[in-house]
Amino acid sequence: MYVPSNERYEKMIYRRCGNSGVKLPVLSLGLWHNFGSITPYETQKELLRTAFDCGINHFDLANNYGPPYGEAERNFGRLMDEDWRPYRDELFISTKAGYDMWPGPYGDHGSRKYLISSIDQSLKRMRVDYVDVFYHHRPDPETPIEETMGALDQIVRSGKALYAGISNYGPEQTEAAVRELKRLGTPCLIHQPRYSMLDRHIENGLTDVLRKEKVGCIVFQPLAGGLLTGKYLEGIPADSRMATDSRFLKPGNLTEENVRKIKALKEIADGRGQKLHHLALQWTLRDEVVTSALIGASRPEQILDNVQILSEPPLTEEEIRLIDEILG
């Protein structure tokens, strides 16, 4: 039987999510990779236990995480029964719908039909009565924002989710979604965009909107899927994502420009006596508009490694300036 560490809340830092009552750990764990059929079930179990023991009480899923689609939620459901049910009230669990999930016109995008059917499926797979956040996973230009946000509002009002969120929405789409949710009386708790030293697009307007609207922000892929660990500088390690599950991370992602940046960033990290990926995580969290950095892990040791940033000195203004020069 799993007995969590008594010290699980001692080291983690929790930030308020926008102007809500919710605080999230500055590091959260995503189940996109390593929770499908490729990874041994026992590893999955250890990943979640290790995270929770470190105070990472926020687990992020989506309907189509796997492979195959739905498998991460199914495995999570099994783990819910085996480990997590006694701790449900300490956990913050999210899922999403918005990408392709099942065949036909109702298993993709942003219709009320898709979102309501999808949350019902997710709750069954995850063996929970509700999730804490339900996200629309990506904007759908063909469905009126009123319909998509109306579905999120209905999901919250029916108790299937406690909060509504959006992911991958641009600044103007975010403003429209936030406005509509406000009108409906279900505020937008959180936005989930991609953000790392290799992808700063959210600085071109989105973070301004989130700050102004007081919406929380959890950034995904803060390590660019592992590129920002530096592990690919000397080739492709056999136990790495690029070698074992290259659906989304391919040698083509290692552009000359990225390699140049990673090498230069590593020098800054070396100068701080720090690992490159620790620098990368601290950098994404340097502005409190970011509530949490949403990491992935293939091994429990990576989680133990990453939480070390909590006791490492924050970046100085000068280091942030030098990093800006490298990133351009």
Pinpoint the alpha helices (H) of 80-158: 112-126, 145-157
SS3 call for 21? coil
Shorter beta-carbon distance to ligand NAP: residue 155 or 224: 224
DSSP codes joined into one string, 212-279: HHT-EEEEE-TTGGGGGGTTTTTS--TTSHHHH-TTS--GGGS-HHHHHHHHHHHHHHHHTT--HHHH
Shorter beta-carbon distance to ligand NAP: residue 158 or 289: 289
Shorter beta-carbon distance to ligand NAP: residue 115 or 224: 224
Closest CA to 265 of 205, 196, 190, 208: 196
The values of phi and psi at residue 127, to 5°, are: 55, 45
CA torsion through residues 192, 193, 196, 202, sign: negative
Shorter beta-carbon distance to ligand NAP: residue 143 or 229: 229
SS3 call for 87? helix
Rounded least distance, CB 222 to ligand NAP, Å: 5
Shorter beta-carbon distance to ligand NAP: residue 18 or 222: 222
Closest CA to 27 of 296, 302, 314, 292: 292
- Residues 55 and 51: their CA atoms lie apart, in Å, by 7
Rounded least distance, CB 84 to ligand NAP, Å: 17
Shorter beta-carbon distance to ligand NAP: residue 15 or 185: 15
Rounded least distance, CB 318 to ligand NAP, Å: 26
Rounded least distance, CB 1 to ligand NAP, Å: 27
Rounded least distance, CB 11 to ligand NAP, Å: 16
Which parts of this chain interact with ligand NAP (CB under 6 A)? Answer: 30-33, 60, 137, 167-168, 192, 220-226, 229, 231, 240-241, 277, 294-298, 302, 305-306
Q: Cα–Cα–Cα angle for 296, 299, 301, nearest 5°?
A: 105
Rounded least distance, CB 218 to ligand NAP, Å: 8
Per the structure block, which two tokens stand in for 114? Answer: 């898709």
Shorter beta-carbon distance to ligand NAP: residue 84 or 220: 220
Match 């509002």 to its residue by tokens. Answer: 153
Helix and strand numbers (H, E) in the chain are: 11, 10
Rounded least distance, CB 237 to ligand NAP, Å: 7
